[in-house]
Structure 1
Amino acid sequence: MADIRADPLPPIPDNLTLPQFFLDSHDPSRPVSRGLYPWLIEDATGRPIGFEEIRTRTFGLANELKARWNIAENDTVCLFSPNDVDWPVVLWAVHRLGAILTPANPGYNAEELTHQLTLSESRLIVTHVASLPAATAAAKQAGIPLDRVVVIGAASSPRPHSTVEELVAAGLSKLPVFEERRLRPGEAKTKLALLCFSSGTTGKPKAVSVSHYAMVANIIQNKLAIGKAPRYAPGDVAFGVLPFYHVFGMVVVLHLHMYIGTTLVVVPKFSFENFLKSIQRYHVKHLMIVPPMAVLMVKSPLTKKYNLNSVKWLMSGAAPLSAELTDQLTKVIPQCAIGQGYGMTETFTTIALSPNDVIPATPGCAGVLIPGVSARVVKVDGTLAKFGEPGELLVTGPSMALGYYKNPQATAESFVDGWVRTGDEVVLNQKGEVFILDRIKAVAPAELEGHLLNHPDVADCCVVGIPHEYSGEAPLAFVVLSHVAQARVKANPAEANAIKAALIKFVADAKVDYKRLTGGVEIVDSIPKNPSGKLLRRVLRDQARAMRAKTPAKL
């Protein structure tokens, strides 16, 4: 099979930063609705926020960041917060100064955050008050002064911390202290905008380097992909509960909806009943969800208590949405078109979307390649697969990341001659439809394996990712017990279950939610390895599939 090329793209601005593209210019593909509708709605209060307020607050914050701490070109600021109406204000203020933003998972503990702060060389942290203890502990470990830990989403904060609100007010009270730089033609393609952390397959999370051009390109690509049918209109209401620190939430949920003139309801944290209430309250038309949310919509009796008739378009991403779950969801919201999106941090972000002009979408299809993307499928032997043959998906296009920050070895492995190795085993057909068969890359296995090996009961281990009804993919640990632990189990077989529970807790106590062993623990006699000692992860993944097939999950 030759490379598959999607529709071509119009020219993409290559001399604009993200805030310059959003706040200072007008692209031909963008609806003219800048001042007609709110850009954001604060879910808890119903407060609308428009273009002028966002633009003004962005300047005020940038002005004070420069005046107070001299945040400047190529400095890095960490945003460690759940969704907030000031989330884009912080992002764009940092970019106004030519600096870089690294978004962090607000569920991180201090150790995990310290790794991100250290690798990204962050000079300042913006955090929510709920995450303040972890932020201050990590700041101390990373050598960041505590007065450089700023609180978002609060009117006041304990000293020495300032709030975003205070900084905006201070910045607006003084004359400009910075001069925003205009990029040279082509410079946006290499000008670093974001350091987004991605677990990958080995070691601790890696920082993915993303340019301003990559994000602008993907927003335009998404707009063209959804523009084939009149599904979106300025003034429509969309729901913003998926986390903005994650690339799906940042690009597709936050930036794309603001770009196309859709009003986005900003929700800090997912609660299923509040999710249903807000859909009803704001007459939400567009839902961006992940499969666990779809499972709740299908299974929970709460769904029937609320009017969801306003929802006309639902897109699921971050993990495959099965054909069976899609069918069940259609029965819950029959008036709604359901599609999927597919992408990853390294491709920043979307590679494929369900086409708006083909409803219902092909069952089990992750989407069709969006404009500007080229793809090829490579078999294990290195040859190109034919249509319908499985292999690893490689893609290229204008939104590809620049590589892994300060990690040339990992960059060389995943970014090859302009192509990104997705790590996904797929099948492509002649329509350009993508069907994901398996994750070749597991769920951050090396990090979890290293942690498990610190437990005295573990002699060897291997972690694989398995399909999971609620979380999409779950880590499962195969563990070889130490001689002492084996003796305990031999003396009392019930001890095996106690050890499994202890190992699950051992990981849960140290890792953020999505890294926990939600797939469980299996005790084995040995871990299969090749002659050079490399873990044969695929063997254990196949074994896990066989185990799962004996007790299939049911909707």
Structure 2
Amino acid sequence: MAEIHGNGELPHIPDDLTIVQFMLDTDHPSRPAPRNHSAWLIEDATGRKITFDEINLRTNALANEFSARWKIGKYDSVCIFSPNHVDYPIAVWASFRVGAVITAANPAYTAEELIYQLRTTDAKLLIVHPWNLPTALAAAQRIGMDMDRIVLFNAEESNTKYSHLTLQQLIDEGVKRSVPFIERRLKPGEARTKLAFLSFSSGTTGLPKAVRISHYSVMSNVLQFTTYVQTEKVPDDKKKYRPGDVGIAVLPFYHIYGQVVVMHCTIFVSMSLVVIPKFDFLAMLESIQRHRITFLTFVPPMIVALCKHPAVAKYDLSSVRLIASGAAPLSAELTRQLAQRLPHCSIGQGYGMTETSTAISLPQINQHVGTPGSAGELLPGVVVRIVRPDGSLAPYGETGELAVKSPSNALGYLNNEDATRETFRDGWVYTGDEVYVNEKKELFVVDRIKDLIKVKGYQVAPPELEGHLLELTEVTDVCIVGKPDEYSGEVPFAFVVPSAAALERIKKDPAEAQKLKDKITKHVADHKVHFKRLVGGVEFIDAIPRNPSGKLLRRVLRDRLRAREETRAPQARL
């Protein structure tokens, strides 16, 4: 088997438009409803609905002011340093109007981390939420950015000596101006190489890398998403994705999942998007109930909470029809638990990465619950190779490294030729994920290749054990790593976050801690082959470190464990 193709044919992907022209100025034949179908954005706290006409007006006015006030234009970089905000998409699209590139920063960054991103992308303007202003000021001062190039999403009291313009003030001024720039129409083919985003990869090892994403890449993924969801062979009132549905924007817009799938794909298929600035699980349940949200784009830790948090039963979640998980593997065990708790919901997961901008698979469109353990079905236009260690290509059902060719693929890394050559090869993105694909074109992620644990030559995939342990009500979260072992090479070791009830029992009787560890160890020994048993041990921990997209930072715990083991004298084994 040389290559595996996703099912379906893609429509024409424009290569002479920018993303803002594609979203706001044109009606592509694949668009399921007119651009002014309904409210595009809904502010969670107030319920304020923002229609297409208002978005178009605000985008154009802000673009006017960007150009007139700062001469922001072609090739300039605009950094957004903020949690989600209803004006976030407007800031993005206004930047595209004037030809600029967006680099979105994690609002949890320290000043040092923000400095790295600002310098790497040579940002000319910094758009900030008031919550993040102190960090933004510290970073801007360090790199010598003028204070008048810091713009606030909205005004709040701040204890600084600087007075910063808000987006609303810029929009008010921009409305009054005659257009000070002529928006340029791209030449045929230019959208394929014109940068839209400099999006930073997860950076689980070393410094994050700026991924160069073109306008064509994002438009391609929007049309791949749209084409796929329209293949569902049921009556319109039974479809999973329907014009007029209500989605949720709780995943961060700075991350590629929120940036492309949530901000662009869901709006393009005519959903309204409830924008939630800050994730709080109970508050989010209230938002789902209040706004009658139908489509949830989640990451696995949120799925865990849906399955295990006792408060879920207190909220009316009957409006939810579809839950799509992404950014990290969702185990078959968790999928089954969620299906039992919310049987009316269709459940599945997708797969994507920053370098493929974004999704290459989505939840199975004609299944109520996706095949357990599957990362969904390959999208139209996606071609994959499953590469064996010797470089040959594996057939259906056999594991190997996933390589992807898609019109949505990014262009490479900014100013990093070595990393680009390693990951982007002859039009293919080499993902570093070990996967297999079945004959239904369903993708199954085994693990990151470098995260596999080798026990006496046998490979153990941590997500399998993690999903198994999450079956226990006493386990809230878990991370499996390899512990060095002179006899076996490595053995599985579990970092576990106990449930609140379990912690209360341990507090009352410390002996309960060992009982729980024994139960966890036995749960694996009773159900898994011998080399998957938790020979390395179990350790309780307050929280599992994750990146903002919900992906386990396994290396952090693995390095901590190995450093600790290295300080101990080797123990003889019989």
TM-score range, shorter chain: 0.7 to 0.9
**Once structures 1 and 2 are overlaid, which stretch shifts more, 225-234 or 56-65?**
225-234
Show the 5 A alignment for 1:71-470: 71-154=72-155, 159-200=162-203, 202-229=205-232, 230-440=239-449, 467=463
Change (3 A) 1:394 1:81: same
Q: Deviations over 1:116-147 (max 9, x none)?
A: 00010101110111111111111122221111
- Residue 441 to residue 176, structure 1, CA distance change in 2 (3 Å): farther
Shift of 1:21: 0.3
Whether the aligned pair in 2 keeps the contact of 1:109 and 1:512 (CA below 8 Å) is no
SS at match of 1:521: helix
Query: Does the residue aligned with 1:376 lie in a helix, a strand or coil?
Result: strand
Q: In structure 1, the residue corresponding to 2:47 is in which secondary structure? A: coil
| Alpha-carbon spacing, 1:150–1:466, altered in 2? closer, same or farther (3 Å) | farther
| 1:525 corresponds to | 566
- The offset of 1:72, in angstroms, is 1.0
- Aligned AA for 1:524? E
The change in CA–CA distance for 1:95 and 1:478 in structure 2 (over 3 A counts) is farther
Q: Offset of 1:202 from its aligned partner?
A: 4.8
Q: How far does residue 225 in structure 1 lie from its aligned partner after superposition?
A: 1.4
- Matched residue of 1:375: which SS? strand
Structure 2 residue aligned with 1:4: 4
Structure 2 contact 326–350 (Cα < 8 Å) conserved = yes
Match of 1:487 in 2: none
Conserved in 2, the CA contact under 8 Å of 1:475 and 1:520?
A: no
Q: 1:372 to 1:277 in 2, by over 3 A?
A: same
Give secondary structure in 1 for the equivalent of 2:334: helix
Change (3 A) 1:202 1:308: closer
Are the equivalent residues in 2 in contact too, given 1:214–1:400 (CA < 8 A)? Answer: yes
Give 2:487's aligned residue. none
Inter-CA distance 306–425: structure 2 relative to 1 (3 Å threshold): same
| Aligned-residue offset at 1:477 | 10
| Partner amino acid, structure 2, of 1:31 | P
Q: Deviations over 1:383-425 (max 9, x none)?
A: 1112221110001010000000111111000000000001100
Q: Which whole-Å CA distance do the structure 2 matches of 1:472 and 1:174 have between them?
A: 54
Relative distance call for 1:65 and 1:300 in structure 2 (3 A) is same
The C-alpha deviation readout for 1:492-528, integer Å capped at 9, x for no partner, is xxxxxxxxxxxx99x99xx99976946782112389x
Describe the superposition over 1:277-309 as per-residue Cα deviations: whole angstroms up to 9, x where unpaired: 111111111111111111111111110101111
Helix, strand or coil for the counterpart of 1:169? helix
> What displacement does 1:441 show?
5.2
- Whole-Å separation in 2 of the counterparts to 1:473 and 1:409: 34
Could you tell me whether the CA contact under 8 Å between 1:323 and 1:363 is conserved in 2? yes
Residue 24 of structure 2 corresponds to residue 53 of structure 1: no
TM-score, with length taken from structure 2? 0.79
In 2, distance between residues paired with 1:477 and 1:110? 33
Deviation for aligned residue 1:239? 1.2
Amino acid at match of 1:211: S
Checking the alignment, whether the CA contact within 8 Å between 1:388 and 1:429 is kept in structure 2 is yes
Q: Which amino acid aligns with 1:45?
A: T
Percent identity (aligned): 49
Q: Relative to 1, partners in 2 of residues 1:56 and 1:441: Cα closer, same or farther, differing over 3 Å?
A: farther
- What is the distance in 2 between the residues matched to 1:151 and 1:352? 36
Distance change in 2, residues 1:145/1:36 (3 Å):
same
CA distance in 2, matches of 1:423, 1:94: 33
Contact preservation (8 Å) 1:58, 1:93: yes
Return the alpha-carbon distance in structure 1 between the equivalents of residues 43 and 82 of structure 2: 15
Q: CA deviation at 1:242?
A: 0.7
Distance in 2, matches of 1:26 and 1:260, equals 12
**Where does structure 1 lack aligned partners over 5 or more consecutive residues?**
444-464, 480-503, 528-555
- Distance in structure 2 (CA, Å) of the matches to 1:220 and 1:441: 33
AA aligned opposite 1:329: L
Residues 25 and 473 (structure 1), Cα distance of their counterparts in 2 relative to 1, 3 Å cut: farther
Q: Is the 8 A contact 2:81 2:104 kept in 1?
A: yes
Cα separation, 2, equivalents of 1:76 and 1:333: 44
Q: Aligned-pair RMSD on alpha carbons?
A: 2.7
Change (3 A) 1:512 1:423: closer
Distance 2:451 2:107 in 1: 23
1:69 aligns with 2:110: no
* Structure 2: unaligned runs, 5 residues or longer: 233-238, 453-460, 471-475, 485-540, 569-574
Offset of 1:440 from its aligned partner?
A: 2.4
What is the match of residue 451 of structure 1? none
Specify the alignment match of 1:39 in structure 2.
Answer: 40
CA distance in structure 1 between the partners assigned to 2:204 and 2:59 by the alignment: 37
Is the counterpart of residue 20 in structure 1 residue 21 in structure 2? yes
Between 1:287-296 and 1:194-203, the stretch displaced more is 194-203
Between the aligned partners of 1:363 and 1:466, the Cα distance in structure 2 is 17
Alpha-carbon distance change, 299 to 208 in structure 1, aligned in 2, over 3 angstroms: same
2:482–2:558 contact (8 Å) kept in structure 1: yes
Kept in 2, the 8 Å contact 1:340–1:354? The answer is yes
Map Cα deviations across residues 298-351 of structure 1 (whole Å, 9 max, x no partner).
Answer: 111110101111111110011111111111111221111101110000000001
More moved, 229-238 vs 81-90: 229-238
Q: Residue 69 of structure 1: CA displacement?
A: 1.0
Residue 27 of structure 2 contacts residue 35 of structure 2 at CA under 8 Å; is this kept in 1? no
Shift of 1:227: 1.4
CA separation in 2, counterparts of 1:438 and 1:143? Answer: 43
The letter for the 2-side match of 1:395 is V
What is the distance in 1 between the residues matched to 2:184 and 2:387? 42
Q: What is the distance in 2 between the residues matched to 1:271 and 1:477?
A: 32
Name the amino acid aligned to 1:242: L
For 1:339 and 1:238, locate their aligned partners in 2 and report how far apart those are by CA, in whole Å: 16
* 515 and 360 in structure 1: CA distance in 2 versus 1, 3 angstrom threshold: closer
